[in-house]
Amino acid sequence: RLAAPKEFLKMAGIHVTGNFHESPECVVSLTRNGETASFAAVPYLNEGDILSHVSLEGEVERHQRYREAVKKIYRECMSAMPDEGIRILMGHFFIQGIEGSGSERIITVGDTQPIRTGDLPEGADYIALGHLHRPQQIKGNGCQIVYPGSPIPINFKEAEYEKNVFMIDTDGTGTCSVDAIPVPVFRELVRVEGTLDEVLTAASFGNWKDKYVEVRVRLEKPEVGTGDRIRHAFDSRGGRVLVVESVLSGREDGESISASDIKSRSPAEMFKDFYNKKYGDTPGDELDELLKTFNELIELSNGQESEP
């Protein structure tokens, strides 16, 4: 997707590396006021793009080959840069020892951290990495390694820490200062948790103007209209509820349904059993109404499958 408008963007001075082909293609050198800065704009390195297939290869061996391939790519990028000037490496991967925010997609190889700080070449003035949403800095081989993080929260898990952009000051001699500049918060993300009464009380007495809210409400049993009541309570105080998650107190996940159950029991029977395990005893008329709706959906689905 990023590579499609690559040539068009280049006319505006925007350089994009969407896919990896050859290491030198990732290197971009810019000269301003007599100073040259070279960037190794290496995109996410998919295992299938940089490793050949080896039959019956174990995860440890494949992981080691991946690390060696990454080291080779960055060495080639460094070799393709001018001898003079600032050298900045960029990448999209996890480094061992970093901390995620819980909202990133997992891109590790073999369930291990794919890259170590020692895998990155010496001689760079600054290393900027992507994928992690939580800002953090790591000690590298003589230079700063920084995950600047996402400039805005991607979800409510990221509302608990400050977002930054980083200003880098380096002269290409190995000296590099990194200053974090906080990103202004224009819409605060807030998480609220409690019983229904506690949540409604918080909504009634809090200042929710121009805030986005995620609510986790604890219930003794399912209650129709809970989400609407919560949204209305916060709306009346200027807030906007984006997520309502209901959690039933004291309920554990039921056992998995076996293959024999699927063959011997009807969908309605499994639905009823699942519902009772998850939500406990439900008045007969309520469950009957749910089963009626469930059966109508099953019939509708079967009818659509039988259509040519």
57-113 pLDDT, tens digit each: 888 888 889 999 999 999 999 999 998 899 999 999 888 755 555 554 444 433 344
Helix (H/G/I), strand (E/B), else coil: 254 = coil
Q: How many residues can be counted in the chain?
A: 308
What pLDDT score does 53 carry? 85
What pLDDT score does 167 carry? 93
Q: How confident is the model at residue 116 (pLDDT cuts 50, 70, 90)?
A: confident
Residue 258 has, within 13 A of its CA and on its CB side, a CA count of 3
pLDDT of 308 > 60? The answer is: no
pLDDT digits (tens, 9 = 90+) for 164-174: 999 999 887 77
What pLDDT score does 111 carry? 39
List of domains in the chain: 6-182 (3.60.21.10), 189-248 (3.30.160), 259-302 (no CATH)
pLDDT digits (tens, 9 = 90+) for 259-278: 556 667 788 888 887 777 76
What pLDDT score does 57 carry? 85
Provide the β-strand partners of residue 193: 216
What pLDDT score does 256 carry? 54
Write down the residue that tokens 């007969």 correspond to.
Answer: 284
Helices (H), 39-186: 47-50, 59-80
| Inter-residue contact 20 to 50 (CB < 8 Å) | yes
User: With a threshold of 0.85, does the pTM exceed it?
Assistant: no
| Inter-residue contact 239 to 209 (CB < 8 Å) | yes
Q: Could you count the other beta carbons within 10 Å of the beta carbon of residue 208?
A: 23
Integer angstrom CA distances of residue 171 from 27, 39, 125: 19, 14, 8
Q: How confident is the model at residue 199 (pLDDT cuts 50, 70, 90)?
A: very high
